[in-house]
């Protein structure tokens, strides 16, 4: 069972001084708690399918799991407006999280913003084409208390040295016991982000064209990351506050009312850019290697985006024995196996030749919505996509492995067969036992993440009120729609929208994500 509760209390007070000065004050507190409990009992050898209670079979085991976290917050805000032309806002909040160590549980996060409605200035009078013009800026500190495991599930005890079941030998048999499963850290604290924003709002021709432009710069420090620790500790990693990451970008949004009257047509378009770069990684600056399922797949290095792909760089396929003899290779490599770059130039291929082989950071993200209406009919078309960025498609390790264990992609038809039939120079030979690390994490699996998608189309019709009111219905709308109608992408996987287990250090890794379904809907909306 999962039991959550949230309680929030606020007190507002607004007042004016004369006709020009307006104030607003808000104070509040909030608390929330999440409790999750799971109990399982495993049984087999049921006599039949009629009685399905657990005690009808033979109980062979059971497990239980408990998890909880809580958050307590106090906050306040002050708003000030002078002649509705100059705007000021300041806020501060203190949050305490049970996820952190006893020494660093609370964080304080202030912020402030200013706005200037330029349109209200005397020098803007008489410019009829401009119906809104506002400049704005803000600066603030925010915190993050969420830490994810490598599989994307939340870790609510990153600061606690947790225990797990571990059997031990006592006498002539095994006895149940407990062992430390994670390293505690009483000084683990909030991940902090300092962000500055400047922006512009511009409305033209009675707001038939409305443009919003925002630029932001965010520096995140004390990142909550699982970092490698010396093996003498008995653990492979521990949660630490480490590093500094910079995000800079711009966001554009434009709304246009293209046609008015009996036939209307409105358009919303948005475009965003973000550049991510690691600025620091602890006192030594050592890279952080991370991964899931197949070992190390990502690396975080100063000067590169967070969680770049990490592996061998493929140069092609060994064409023949002479090609194999003339270049460094793994000891069991054969003609037709993958040829990897000797990155460090030591004349052999080892784990030290792994390097950054791409990243999931897109050049830009965009979205477009067109809405039409005519005589009760309405039509909405939503398009979105990504340009640039890459995906590490590790699902291809199974469906291009050429060991004959399962079905394969048609790309293997262009594999290496012989020196006279070298194939496409990328896909290695068929082999019942993979040699030469041909299925290892490498640039062979790196693909383009760009895509264009028709996300949603909805067509509706509003029945005239003269008809619906006869049956005492105020409004009646019929509609039909389809989601994910069309996707254009060069990606060989099911879906180019890849999460990488929701872990910031393993972004862009696809290890067989579930396909995105195409969904058809029909329905009606009634209003009485």
Residue 483 sits in the same domain as residue 338: no
Q: Find where tokens 């194939």 sit.
A: 423
Residue 376 sits in the same domain as residue 501: yes
Pairing relationship of beta strands 475-489 and 338-340 according to DSSP bridges? unpaired
pLDDT tens for 248-307 read: 999 999 999 999 999 999 999 999 999 999 999 988 888 988 886 678 999 999 999 999
Domain-ending residue, one of 383, 412, 440: 440
Is residue 155 in a domain?
no
Residue 423 sits in the same domain as residue 296: no
In whole angstroms, what is the distance from residue 273 CA to residue 251 CA?
Answer: 6
Q: Find where tokens 């039409």 sit.
A: 372
Residue 519 sits in the same domain as residue 496: yes
Contacts of 494 (CB under 8 A, 6+ apart): 513, 514, 515, 516
Q: What is the pTM of this model?
A: 0.85
Structure tokens given for 362: 């897109």
Instruction: Assign 411 to helix, strand or coil.
Output: helix
Structure tokens given for 495: 């879906």
Q: What pLDDT is stored for residue 335 in this prediction?
A: 96
Residue 413 sits in the same domain as residue 495: no
Which CB contacts under 8 angstroms, 24+ apart, belong to 61-68?
63/38, 63/39, 64/37, 64/38, 64/39, 64/40, 65/36, 65/37, 65/38, 65/39, 66/36, 66/37, 66/38, 67/34, 67/35, 67/36, 67/37, 67/156, 68/33, 68/34, 68/35, 68/36, 68/98, 68/156
Residue 506 sits in the same domain as residue 419: no
pLDDT tens for 350-378 read: 999 999 999 999 999 999 999 999 999 99
The secondary structure of residue 367, as a DSSP letter, is E
In whole angstroms, what is the distance from residue 510 CA to residue 488 CA?
Answer: 18
Residue 358 sits in the same domain as residue 303: yes
Other CB atoms within 10 Å distance of the CB of residue 153: 12
Is residue 494 in a domain?
yes
Residue 260 sits in the same domain as residue 383: yes
Please, which pLDDT band fits residue 389 given cuts at 50, 70 and 90? very high
CA atoms within 13 A on the CB side of 326: 7
Is residue 292 in a domain?
yes
Residue 459 sits in the same domain as residue 485: yes
For residue 364, the surrounding DSSP H or E stretch is strand 364-374
Domain limits at 483? 256-267+276-312+354-394+448-528
Is residue 522 in a domain?
yes
Is residue 59 in a domain?
no
Residue 363 sits in the same domain as residue 427: no
Please, which pLDDT band fits residue 149 given cuts at 50, 70 and 90? low
The region of weakest confidence among 232-246, 300-314, 366-380 is: 232-246
Structure tokens given for 97: 């999280």
Residue 307 sits in the same domain as residue 317: no
Q: What pLDDT is stored for residue 225 in this prediction?
A: 82
Backbone φ and ψ for 482, nearest 5 degrees, come out as: -140, 135
Residue 417 sits in the same domain as residue 389: no
**Mean pLDDT for the stretch of residues 384-398:** 93
Is residue 483 in a domain?
yes
Is residue 209 in a domain?
no
Q: Find where tokens 């049970």 sit.
A: 98
Is residue 84 in a domain?
no
Provide the number of structural domains found in the chain.
Answer: 2
Residue 52 scores a pLDDT above 90: no
């Amino acid at each position: 069972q999962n039991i959550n509760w949230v309680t929030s209390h606020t007190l507002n007070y607004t007042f004016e001084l004369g006709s020009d000065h307006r104030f607003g004050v808000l104070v509040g507190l909030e608390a929330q708690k999440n409790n999750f409990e799971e109990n399982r009992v495993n049984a087999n050898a049921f006599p039949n399918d009629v009685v399905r209670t657990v005690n009808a079979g033979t109980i062979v085991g059971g497990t239980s799991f408990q998890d909880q976290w809580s958050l307590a917050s106090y906050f306040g805000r002050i708003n000030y407006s002078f002649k509705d032309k100059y705007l000021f806002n300041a806020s501060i909040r203190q949050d305490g999280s049970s996820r952190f160590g006893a020494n660093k549980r609370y964080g304080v996060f202030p912020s402030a913003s200013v706005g200037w409605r330029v349109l209200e200035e005397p020098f803007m009078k008489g410019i009829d084409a401009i119906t809104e013009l506002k400049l704005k800026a803000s600066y603030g500190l925010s915190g993050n208390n969420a830490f994810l495991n490598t599989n994307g599930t939340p870790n609510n005890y990153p600061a606690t040295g947790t225990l797990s079941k571990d059997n031990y030998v006592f006498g002539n048999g095994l006895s149940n016991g407990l062992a430390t499963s994670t390293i505690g850290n009483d000084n683990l604290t909030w991940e902090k982000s300092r962000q500055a924003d400047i922006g512009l709002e511009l409305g033209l021709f009675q707001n038939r064209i409305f443009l919003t432009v925002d630029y932001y710069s965010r520096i995140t420090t004390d990142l909550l990351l699982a970092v490698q620790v010396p093996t003498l500790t008995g653990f492979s990693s521990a949660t630490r506050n480490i590093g500094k990451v910079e995000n800079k970008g711009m966001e554009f949004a434009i709304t246009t009312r293209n046609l008015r009257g009996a036939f209307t047509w409105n358009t919303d378009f948005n475009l965003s850019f973000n550049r991510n770069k690691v600025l620091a990684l602890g006192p030594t600056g050592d890279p952080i290697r991370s991964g899931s399922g197949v070992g190390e797949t990502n690396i975080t290095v100063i000067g590169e985006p967070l969680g770049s792909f990490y592996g061998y760089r493929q140069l092609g396929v060994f064409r023949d024995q002479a090609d194999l003899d003339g270049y460094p290779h793994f000891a069991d490599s054969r003609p037709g196996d993958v040829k990897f770059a000797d990155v460090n130039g030591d004349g052999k291929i080892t784990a030290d030749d792994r390097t950054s082989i791409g990243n999931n950071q897109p050049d830009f993200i965009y979205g477009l919505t067109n809405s039409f209406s005519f005589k009760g009919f309405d039509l909405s078309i939503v398009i979105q996509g990504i340009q640039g960025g890459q995906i590490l498609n590790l699902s291809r390790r199974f469906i291009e492995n050429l060991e004959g264990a399962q079905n394969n992609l048609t790309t293997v038809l262009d594999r290496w067969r012989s020196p006279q039939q070298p194939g496409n120079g990328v896909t290695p030979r068929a082999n019942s036992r993979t040699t030469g690390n041909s299925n290892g994490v490498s640039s062979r699996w790196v693909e383009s993440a760009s895509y264009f998608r028709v996300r949603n189309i909805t067509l509706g019709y509003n029945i005239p009120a003269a008809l619906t009111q006869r049956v005492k219905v105020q409004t009646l709308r019929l509609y039909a729609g389809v989601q994910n109608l069309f996707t254009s992408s060069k990606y060989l996987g099911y879906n180019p929208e890849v999460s990488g287990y929701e872990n910031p250090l393993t972004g862009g890794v696809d290890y067989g994500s579930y396909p995105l379904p195409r969904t058809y809907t029909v329905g009606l909306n009634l209003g009485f």
